[in-house]
C-alpha cells in the first residue's frame, strides 16, 4: 500500500528538529532510517500528520569512544557496526550482533537510535543497550535528559521518550579488561525478528566468574536483565554446569509472550537455550 | 493531498526534475515520475527486496525511503548497469548461469549483488549467501543466483 499524506520537514539542526516536534505536537514523528516507520506507514498502521526528517542533521552522524564510553549519534546506521569500532570485548561482539539485524539493505539505512526509539521487544540494539547499562540521551525543547536503559524501556514499543524529544545519543560504558561476551539469537529464518535472544557478559578473575550480565530479548515485552541468573554465576567456574544452571534460572524468571510466532512455553525453552549458547560463545570469543 | 514539492533526482547520472507529494516513495518516483520501470515493487514493506536500488553506494529498499529524501543523492537502478549493449559482469553472469526464471525479482537481485561485489569482490562464500538472503525469489532460483554472483565476483576482482 501507499502511505497517507503528511507534511514533510527536513531541519538542519537538532534544535530546529526539537522546535518542530514541539510545534507539531503528538501527530508528528521523527524519521531517521525509516526501516520500521515507513513500512508501518505503507501499511497505514502509522499515519503521522507530519514527519521531521533528521537525516540532514550532520551533527547527529557520529560514533566515537572517549574516556571509556562508546558514544553513538542518532544517525549512526546499523551497517556501521559491522566492522569493529572499539577495542576490547565489544570490538568483536558488536559486529557479531549487528549481522543478526534484518538484512543488508535494511542495515544500510536503519539506525541504532531509531531502534531504541521504536523499542521492538526483539530489537538487538535494545538488548545491547539494556544489558550494557547504556544511558539514553533524550533532547527536548527545554533540556537534555539522560535516562538509564533500565528505566527507558517500559513495554512493547513503549519507552520514556516524550513526543517532543529525540533520541539524540546513546552512551555505552565500555567493559574493561577481563570481560568476555557472547550472543545467541533464534529466529525462524535469517533476518527475521528473534523469538528469543541472549547477550551475556562475564568477567573472569582467577578462573572464576567475578561479575556477570545476562540480558534477554524477544522473550518478554522489553529487554530484561536476569539478576538471579547473574548472581548464580558469580563465584562459579565458567563451565557447562554453571552455564546450564544460569540458563535454567533465566528461563524460569522470564514472563514470556505468546503470539502467532511462538507460544510462551516454547519461548521459555528458547530463552534457556539462548542463554546457554550465549555464555558458551562468551567463553570462546 | 498535500502540496507537491519540486525534487531533482539524480538517477544513473541523469537529473530528473519531478514534483511529488512527500508521501511518494523513492520506488514510486523512480517508476512513475522518472519512467524507469525496471525497478520492481513487490511487498512495499521492505521484505522482498524487488525494489532494491543503490543510493550513494549502498543497496537500499526504495519502498522504505521517500523521494524527497533522495535529493542530492546518486541513485543507480537496473537501467544503469549495462554499458550500451554490453551487460555488466553481474548481468552477464545471471544470463550465463540461468539465474532468473520469471524475472520479477531480478532487478533487485542485480542491484543487491552489484552493491555487495563493488564493496568487496572477495567476499567469502558464507558471507555472500548471508547477504543474498536479503532478497526473495519465489521461483526458488537461489542456487543459480549464488552461482552467478560468485562467477561475477571472479570477473570483478
The pLDDT of residue A191 is 82
Distance separating alpha carbons of residues B40 and A124, to the nearest angstrom = 30
Q: Tell me the shortest Cα–Cα distance from B14 to chain A, in angstroms.
A: 23
pLDDT at A285 over 80: no
pLDDT at B79 over 80: yes
pLDDT at B84 over 70: yes
**Pairwise CB contact (< 8 Å): A191 & B133:** yes
| Segment A114-153, tens digit of pLDDT | 999 999 999 999 999 999 999 999 999 999 999 999 999 9
Angle at A173 between CA A170 and CA A176, to 5 degrees: 155
B25 in contact with A, Cβ within 8 Å:
yes
> What percentage of chain B reaches a pLDDT higher than 90?
97
Q: Options 3.30.565.10, 3.30.230.70, 2.40.40.20, 3.30.465.10; which CATH number does A58-173 get?
A: 3.30.465.10
The pLDDT of residue B1 is 62
Query: Sorting pLDDT into bands at 50, 70 and 90, what band is B156?
Result: very high
pLDDT at A160 over 80: yes
HSE (side-chain half, CA atoms, 13 Å) at A183:
21
* pLDDT, chain A, mean: 96
HSE (side-chain half, CA atoms, 13 Å) at A145:
16
Q: Options 1.10.150.120, 3.40.50.1360, 3.90.1010.10, 3.30.390.30; which CATH number does B89-156 get?
A: 1.10.150.120
> What percentage of chain A reaches a pLDDT higher than 70?
100
Residues of chain B with C-beta less than 8 angstroms from the C-beta of A109? 58, 60-61, 64-65
Substitution target from A38, A42, A46, A51 for chain B, most B beta carbons within 10 A:
A38
Q: Tell me the shortest Cα–Cα distance from B64 to chain A, in angstroms.
A: 5
Q: Tell me the shortest Cα–Cα distance from A117 to chain B, in angstroms.
A: 18
The pLDDT of residue B141 is 80
A96 in contact with B, Cβ within 8 Å:
no
Pairing of strands A224-225, A208-217: antiparallel
The hierarchical CATH code for the domain A7-53 is 3.30.43.10
Pairing of strands A208-217, A196-205: antiparallel
The pLDDT of residue A150 is 97
CATH 3.30.390.50 fits A179-284, yes or no: yes
Closest CA to A26 of A165, A146, A147, A142: A165
Closest CA to A61 of A79, A70, A73: A73
Q: Could you identify the residue written with the cell 533487485?
A: B108
Q: Which residues make Cβ contacts (< 8 Å) with residue A89, sequence separation at least 6? A: A175, A179, A180, A181, A201, A285
Q: Residues of CATH 3.10.20.30 domain(s) within chain B? A: 5-76
| A178: its cell numbers | 577481563
- Option in B5, B23, B60 nearest A2 (CB): B23
Distance separating alpha carbons of residues B23 and B18, to the nearest angstrom = 14
Q: Tell me the shortest Cα–Cα distance from B57 to chain A, in angstroms.
A: 10
The pLDDT of residue B2 is 78
Span A53-64, average pLDDT = 98
> What percentage of chain A reaches a pLDDT higher than 90?
94
**Pairwise CB contact (< 8 Å): A7 & B65:** no
Query: Sorting pLDDT into bands at 50, 70 and 90, what band is A170?
Result: very high
- Option in B2, B61, B69 nearest A105 (CB): B61
The pLDDT of residue A1 is 81
Q: What is the pTM of this model?
A: 0.96
Span B63-72, average pLDDT = 98
C-alpha B73 chain-centroid distance = 15
Distance separating alpha carbons of residues A230 and A250, to the nearest angstrom = 9
pLDDT at A257 over 90: no
Nearest-by-CA chain B residue for A193: B47
Check: CB of residue A149 under 8 Å from CB of residue A136.
yes
**Pairwise CB contact (< 8 Å): B23 & A3:** yes
Distance separating alpha carbons of residues A41 and A39, to the nearest angstrom = 5
pLDDT at B122 over 90: yes
Domain extent listing, chain A? 7-53, 58-173, 179-284
| B142: its cell numbers | 537461489
Residues of chain B with C-beta less than 8 angstroms from the C-beta of A105? 49, 52, 58-61, 112, 134
Pairing of strands A153-155, A158-159: antiparallel
- Option in B2, B68, B134 nearest A105 (CB): B134
HSE (side-chain half, CA atoms, 13 Å) at B35:
5
| Segment A75-96, tens digit of pLDDT | 999 999 999 999 999 999 999 9
Span A167-193, average pLDDT = 94
> Which chain B residues in 118-137 lie under 8 Å from chain A, judged by CB atoms?
130-131, 133-135
Distance separating alpha carbons of residues B133 and A189, to the nearest angstrom = 9
B57 in contact with A, Cβ within 8 Å:
no
Least reliable range by pLDDT among A4-18, A99-113, A189-203: A189-203
Instruction: Judge if ipTM > 0.85.
Output: yes
**Pairwise CB contact (< 8 Å): A38 & B133:** no
**Pairwise CB contact (< 8 Å): A2 & B68:** no
| A272: its cell numbers | 534457556
Which CATH class, in words, describes the domain spanning B5-76?
alpha beta
Query: Sorting pLDDT into bands at 50, 70 and 90, what band is A66?
Result: confident
**Pairwise CB contact (< 8 Å): A38 & B65:** yes
| A89: its cell numbers | 570485548
Q: Tell me the shortest Cα–Cα distance from A31 to chain B, in angstroms.
A: 10
Q: Residues of CATH 1.10.150.120 domain(s) within chain B? A: 89-156
pLDDT at A189 over 90: no
Amino acid at each position: 500500500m501507499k502511505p497517507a499524506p503528511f507534511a514533510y520537514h527536513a531541519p538542519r539542526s537538532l534544535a530546529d528538529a526539537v522546535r518542530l516536534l514541539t510545534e507539531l505536537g503528538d501527530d508528528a514523528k521523527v524519521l531517521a532510517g525509516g526501516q520500521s516507520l515507513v513500512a508501518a506507514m505503507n501499511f497505514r498502521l502509522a499515519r503521522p500528520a507530519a514527519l521531521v526528517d533528521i537525516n540532514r542533521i550532520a551533527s547527529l552522524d557520529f560514533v566515537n569512544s572517549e574516556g571509556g564510553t562508546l558514544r553513538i549519534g542518532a544517525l549512526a546506521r546499523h551497517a556501521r557496526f559491522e566492522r569493529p569500532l572499539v577495542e576490547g570485548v565489544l570490538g568483536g561482539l558488536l559486529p557479531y550482533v549487528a549481522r543478526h539485524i534484518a538484512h543488508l539493505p535494511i542495515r544500510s539505512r536503519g539506525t541504532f537510535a531509531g531502534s531504541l526509539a521504536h523499542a521492538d521487544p526483539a530489537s538487538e540494539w535494545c538488548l545491547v543497550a539494556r544489558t550494557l547499562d547504556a544511558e539514553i540521551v533524550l533532547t527536548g525543547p527545554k533540556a537534555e535528559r539522560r535516562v538509564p536503559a533500565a528505566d527507558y524501556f517500559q513495554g512493547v514499543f513503549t519507552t520514556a521518550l516524550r513526543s517532543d524529544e529525540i533520541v539524540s545519543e546513546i552512551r555505552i560504558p565500555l567493559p574493561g579488561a577481563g570481560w568476555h561476551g557472547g550472543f545467541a539469537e533464534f529466529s525462524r529464518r535469517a533476518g527475521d525478528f528473534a523469538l528469543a535472544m541472549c547477550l551475556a557478559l562475564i568477567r573472569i578473575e582467577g578462573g572464576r566468574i567475578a561479575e556477570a550480565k545476562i540480558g534477554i530479548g524477544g522473550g518478554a515485552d522489553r529487554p530484561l536483565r536476569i539478576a538471579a541468573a547473574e548472581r548464580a554465576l558469580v563465584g562459579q567456574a565458567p563451565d557447562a554446569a554453571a552455564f546450564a544452571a544460569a540458563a535454567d534460572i533465566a528461563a524460569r524468571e522470564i514472563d514470556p509472550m505468546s503470539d502467532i510466532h511462538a507460544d510462551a512455553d516454547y519461548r521459555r525453552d528458547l530463552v534457556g537455550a539462548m542463554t546457554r549458547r550465549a555464555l558458551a560463545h562468551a567463553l570462546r570469543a | 493531498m498535500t502540496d507537491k514539492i519540486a525534487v531533482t533526482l539524480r538517477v544513473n547520472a541523469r537529473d530528473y526534475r519531478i514534483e511529488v507529494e512527500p508521501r511518494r516513495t523513492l520506488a514510486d518516483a523512480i517508476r512513475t515520475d522518472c519512467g524507469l520501470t525496471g525497478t520492481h515493487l513487490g511487498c512495499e514493506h521492505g521484505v522482498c527486496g524487488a525494489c532494491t536500488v543503490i543510493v550513494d553506494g549502498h543497496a537500499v529498499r526504495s519502498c522504505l525511503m521517500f523521494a524527497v529524501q533522495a535529493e542530492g543523492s546518486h541513485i543507480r537502478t537496473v537501467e544503469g548497469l549495462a554499458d550500451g549493449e554490453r551487460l555488466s559482469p553481474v548481468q552477464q553472469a545471471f544470463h550465463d548461469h540461468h539465474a532468473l526464471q520469471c524475472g520479477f525479482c531480478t532487478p533487485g537481485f542485480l542491484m543487491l549483488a552489484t552493491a555487495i561485489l563493488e564493496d568487496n569482490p572477495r567476499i567469502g562464500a558464507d558471507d555472500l549467501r548471508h547477504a543474498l538472503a536479503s532478497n526473495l525469489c519465489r521461483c526458488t532460483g537461489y542456487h543459480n543466483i549464488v552461482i552467478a554472483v560468485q562467477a561475477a565476483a571472479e570477473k570483478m576482482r
